Structure formats: structure tokens, C-alpha cells
């Protein structure tokens, strides 16, 4: 009888753990959290995105979150939740977060400013700078600076590019139409980048990524 009782307790604990996120997700709009819970989420984010949110050189390139525009971070987390942006891992991470937690996490990373990770091909930086500042009129590619600013700091829902991890930017621009604007009922602000990303060659993408990765 004692063994059965112990098994029952363990099963109850397992079910409580498995189904707790789903329960929270049903009432995300009114969810509250403590500073301890916020810190736990921040630590969890940093296991992939680096201790200072600077990005990570792992098997898959993890983007820099440090200094990112909070409006952009919130928008992209919602895009994962609404499947406007495809990433199974980030869907699982984001869909249990309340709106207030999304806002708090975005605000935390906005205030971080570590040195860029570097590692981009230096020989591409000059070409990337020219494209970033002047665009490619012959390919219908506008200047990146027109939206992201001359310093690459972004504005509102337009993301910061300065210091972004080189391999991640290459991956993001290369796979833009496969990963962004995937549907849903809400307009995805990332859609504005679709024709630009489509018109860039791999060499041009690499050059832009190299240039912005070197900005601080």
C-alpha cells in the first residue's frame, strides 16, 4: 500500500508539472509574476543567447538580444506564439509567457550592451557598409540605414542590427521567406523585408552581415 501511495504522489506531481504551462497559457492576459520568476526566465534565455545576451556560437547561431528594441522583441515573441515566424523551439519557449512577462524580458535585454562577438570576414565590411548606407538601386534594394538608422540602432519595431552575430544575420536573411510572415490573422511587420531579402545575393548578404556585426 505504501508503494502504491508513493506512485500515486509521483504521478500527481508529474501531471501537475506537465499541464501547468497549459493552464497558465489560458489566462496569460492576467498572469502576474514575481521578481524570482522573472529572473528564472532571464537565466533560461541566457542559456542559449549568452550570459550578457551577446549571442552564442553553438551548433546553431543564437542571435544577440542585448540592446535590442523592446518593441521588436515583443513583436517577434508574439510572432513565434502565433506561428507567423517558424521556430518550434521558440514557440515552446514563448507560448507560456504572459504579455507582462514578454514586456519585462524585452525591457531587461534592452539595457544590456556587451561587446560584439566579432568573427565576421573583415574583407567584406567595406562592401557591406556601402550597401547598408546606399542600397543597391539596380537590384531594388533600399539602404538599410533608411529604416535601421546610420548606427544600426533601430527604432520601435524596427530591430537593432548593430553588433548582431554575423552567422545569425546571414542565416536570417538567407531564410527570410521560409521563416517570417508565415500566415496567421495578424500582419507581421517583418513582411516589409521580404522583397529586400529576396533581391540580395549570398555575397551581398554576407557583406551586410559582416558590417553590422562590427557596429557597436
20 pLDDT band, cuts 50/70/90, is very low
Mean per-residue pLDDT, 6-18: 34
How confident is the model over 116-157, as pLDDT tens digits? 999 999 999 999 999 999 999 999 999 999 999 999 999 999
Residue where the block lists cell 534594394: 141
Phi, psi of 151 (to 5 degrees): -95, 0
The per-residue pLDDT of the chain, averaged, comes to 85
> Could you state, in order of their start, the residue ranges of all structural domains in the chain?
31-110, 122-213
Distance CA 56, CA 78 (A): 23
- Percent share of the chain, pLDDT over 90: 70
Residue 185 grid coordinates: 490573422
Kindly state the cell numbers that stand for 83: 506561428
Overall average pLDDT of the 166-181 stretch: 91
Confidence of residue 74 (pLDDT cuts 50, 70, 90): very high
With respect to CATH, is domain 31-110 assigned 1.10.1200.120? no
Using the structure block, give the residue that is written with the C-alpha cell 554575423. Answer: 166
Domains 31-110 and 122-213 alike in fold = yes
pLDDT tier, 45 (very low <50, low <70, confident <90, very high otherwise): very high
The answer to whether residue 6 scores a pLDDT higher than 80 is: no
What are 155's strand-pairing partners?
A: 158
Provide CATH code, domain 122-213: 1.10.760.10
Amino acid at each position: 500500500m505504501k508503494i502504491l501511495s508513493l506512485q500515486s504522489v509521483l504521478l500527481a506531481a508529474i501531471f501537475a508539472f506537465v499541464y501547468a504551462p497549459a493552464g497558465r497559457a489560458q489566462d496569460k492576459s492576467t498572469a502576474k509574476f514575481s521578481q524570482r520568476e522573472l529572473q528564472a526566465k532571464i537565466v533560461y534565455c541566457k542559456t542559449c543567447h549568452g550570459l550578457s545576451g551577446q549571442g552564442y556560437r553553438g551548433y546553431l547561431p543564437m542571435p544577440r538580444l542585448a540592446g535590442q528594441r523592446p518593441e521588436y522583441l515583443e513583436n517577434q515573441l508574439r510572432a513565434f506564439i502565433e506561428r507567423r515566424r517558424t521556430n518550434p523551439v521558440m514557440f515552446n519557449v514563448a507560448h507560456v509567457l504572459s504579455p507582462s512577462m514578454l514586456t519585462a524580458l524585452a525591457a531587461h535585454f534592452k539595457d544590456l550592451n556587451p561587446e560584439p562577438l566579432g568573427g565576421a570576414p573583415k574583407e567584406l565590411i567595406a562592401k557591406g557598409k556601402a550597401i547598408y548606407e546606399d542600397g543597391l538601386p539596380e537590384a531594388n534594394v533600399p539602404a538599410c540605414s533608411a529604416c535601421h538608422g546610420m548606427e544600426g540602432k533601430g527604432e520601435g519595431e524596427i530591430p537593432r542590427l548593430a553588433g548582431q552575430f554575423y552567422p545569425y544575420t546571414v542565416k536570417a536573411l538567407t531564410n527570410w521567406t521560409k521563416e517570417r510572415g508565415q500566415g496567421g490573422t495578424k500582419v507581421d511587420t517583418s513582411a516589409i523585408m521580404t522583397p529586400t531579402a529576396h533581391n540580395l545575393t549570398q555575397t551581398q548578404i554576407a557583406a551586410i552581415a559582416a558590417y553590422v556585426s562590427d557596429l557597436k
